[in-house]
Structure 1
Amino acid sequence: MVARLGELYLPPSDTRFEYFLYANPQDKADLFPCHGSSPTVLTGVGGRYEVHHFRLSVHELVHLYTLREPHLGWSQLLTEGLAVYLGDYYAAQHPETPASELTDRMPAEAFLAALPQERQVSLAQLHAWPTNAELSEDERSIRYLTAGAFTRYLFEARDPALVLDYLEQHQVPWSQLRSQALLDALAETYSTDIDSLERDFRRWMASQATSPDAG
């Protein structure tokens, strides 16, 4: 899976990235020089958050690889979901990394399955993801965790080739990122509709939450 993603999205060998590290979200808001372009930003330095630079760096580097076309993208459901999933994938290979705010709600599937209905975020809501500035910290966290869990479901509980095919065929202009057609195309990849896909995802998440290996 990781190898094929590299084949699909690895930039040319002469590509150069700028990498910005800000001390806090306000500095990012005041100084962010690269909105809408390829450089990426990592925030949240300090305290228990700082020990997870590895996870966050992978997350942001995934964005660099997958969003290298400046006017094209995917639904946020998979744009953020893939970054969360791969960040967790590589962080899991370093169990010595200390706990932080980022792991307080892990494993994500158990946390999400236990959420009251009114706090859960549907796939359609993830697809229509507003700007993070419009969301509370809790709302943002639940969206990221749900997107990551859904991406894990697609890669580990379904045929991973299907999601890779979808990603390869459905990178669209920014103006179309929230289109219903883009969401419907994801469900059609699995020969179903989005409501049925979500129900299966929720059942899988509940099974992960109760599995002896869930933690």
Structure 2
Amino acid sequence: MNKCSPPRIAEALLEKVLPADLKEPLLGDLEEEFQQIQFNQSKQACQIWYWRQALLTSFHYFNQTQKALIMFAFSVLFFVALTIFAMELSGGASMFFDVPSLILTLPPALVFTLAVSTPGNVKQAFSCLFSGHVDSLRQVKSSVMVFDVLGTSCLWLGALMTLLGWVAMGSHIEDVAIIGPAFAVSILTLLYAMGVKLVCYVAAQRINYLGQGLSPNLD
């Protein structure tokens, strides 16, 4: 009988969530039991069993090991929920959604961030943010710089695109039917940029907090 390995994604989930002191023994026990049940069950049943154990175990330890990530995600979701609520009170959330306005700010800001930093540093910054772990002050500095550049670039792009929109409106000042929608779109561009800037600011402060207590000798 050809034995199969545990699902890699399920293992990665456990490696992410489990406390450091329990990671090796728990993963070892699960793999050993996974290999044993293959003598009596099909491959699919074994995979389902491992996924069930992985999800139950992850749920048990998630709040313990990922509390900071939970709070960060909750704060972002709370901000989004309040924003949507304010939009609804203002006449409907649909009038505040405009894909071109978002495209004009976030993708160019990401390009500027990659130009200033490196893809590796950008990946590292998001990894630090979501893992809640930093290894050195140098890593903290580079990660904070990524979010500072991303947020600031997005904000300046939003302001620039808004000004360009106003210039375009000025050339059609006599056409009221064009000015209204164009003005709304130009303001939405700045609104999106300010929202991204706010999230990037919170992300940078979170990484700064994670770096508190690190010794300069770790660099």
Tell me the TM-score range normalised by the shorter chain. Answer: under 0.3
Give the TM-score of the pair, scaled to structure 2. Answer: 0.22
Give the TM-score of the pair, scaled to structure 1. Answer: 0.23
The structure carrying a bigger strand percent of its residues is: 1
The structure carrying a bigger helix percent of its residues is: 2
Larger radius of gyration between Structure 1 and Structure 2: 2
